[in-house]
Amino acid sequence: MEKKRYHLIGICGTAMASLAGMLVEQGHKVTGSDENVYPPMSLELERLGIPVCDGYRAENLRERPDVIVIGNAISRGNPEIEFALNEKMYYTSMAAVVKENFIRGHHSIVVAGTHGKTTTTSLMAWAMERAGADPSFLIGGVAENFNSSFRVTTGPYFVIEGDEYDTAYFDKGPKFMHYLPDTVILNNIEFDHADIYRDLDAVKFAFSRLINLIPDRGHLIAGFDSPIVRELSHRAFCPVESFGTEEGARWRAIDVDFTGEMTSFTVQVEGRDFERYRTPLAGMFNVRNCLAVIAA
């Protein structure tokens, strides 16, 4: 891969800082800018050797980068955006760079849904790590088991948190539309992000578009405790593996016990016992998160 110079506008966001680290691991030169730069992200970027400009100024782009990555919190009127537009510089989004630099050519496992994405993505990456699959991953938070929010490996799998929030000021579609999904874990769908989705139908439409991206050889891991996921799963062109605690799901968690130090539950597949599991995570929501990974 050709080594390039990247400049990330809004570099201190969790996803943007993680992308900066991933690009450095690929051997690219990375700089960035942000306002109110402070720990912990400032320290992490310093550890990675990435220079960060405190504040947005056209001068930050005088040493012309090959690629400008614009964070989704950055809008028109930003001095660096205006300079880049006037100078016809090449710019793109975080999600698009992740797709082309890291996901394309890999088996993409996208963890989506209104709630539980970060936890389930962390669980999926750790389960695959323990199974020897050596996954790359990008998580919307620091996973304690890895002490990192990202990792780049030579393995065939990429596990990514599929954010339904918009991508950039010039791309108002969900980030997950860029992630070339082979396997989608879809935990639940409710009305959220009222600043960009006008109503529940708009949210449903966004997730139906994600389902429509899965190839016929892929899989949808569908949380059937969510009525909307259950409804949308019928639109999939790929096999559907349903999970949940209620009747109708192929993978079910039953006999859940919260009384000890660990949460324990039995997994059944089509009514037959599969295995009993334990987790330090509390609550029925986390039972569903674990069950999603088991089914996947």
pLDDT digits (tens, 9 = 90+) for 69-96: 999 999 999 999 999 999 999 999 999 9
Higher pLDDT, 126 or 37: 126
Q: Which structure tokens are listed for 87? A: 């100078």
Q: What is the mean pLDDT of residues 49-78?
A: 96
pLDDT for the residue numbered 47? 85
pLDDT digits (tens, 9 = 90+) for 206-256: 999 999 999 999 999 999 999 999 999 999 999 999 999 999 999 999 999
pLDDT for the residue numbered 142? 85
Residue 124 scores a pLDDT above 90: yes
CATH 3.40.1190.10 range(s) for the chain read 105-295
Question: How far is CA 180 from each of CA 60, 212, 275, 292, rounded to the nearest angstrom?
Answer: 33, 11, 32, 20
Please answer whether residues 169 and 70 qualify as being in contact, where contact means their C-beta atoms are separated by less than 8 angstroms.
yes
Residue 40 scores a pLDDT above 80: no
Q: Which CATH number describes the domain made up of 105-295?
A: 3.40.1190.10
What is the pTM (predicted TM-score) of this model? Answer: 0.95
Flag the least confident range among 39-53, 63-77, 177-191. 39-53
| Confidence bin at 141 (pLDDT 50/70/90) | confident
Chain mean pLDDT for the chain:
95
Highest CATH level, class, for 5-97: alpha beta
Instruction: Say if strands 263-269 and 219-223 run parallel, antiparallel, or are unpaired.
Output: unpaired
pLDDT for the residue numbered 36? 81
Interaxial angle between packed helices 117-130 and 284-295, expressed in degrees from 0 to 180 and rounded to the nearest 10: 40
pLDDT for the residue numbered 39? 77
Which residues, in sequence order, are CB contacts of 85 under 8 Å at separation 6+? none
Question: How far is CA 122 from each of CA 129, 136, 149, 293, rounded to the nearest angstrom?
Answer: 10, 11, 9, 10
Q: What is the mean pLDDT of residues 110-133?
A: 97
| Confidence bin at 22 (pLDDT 50/70/90) | very high
| Confidence bin at 38 (pLDDT 50/70/90) | confident
pLDDT for the residue numbered 87? 97
Give the integer Cα–Cα distance in Å for 226 and 224.
Answer: 5
CATH 3.40.50.720 range(s) for the chain read 5-97
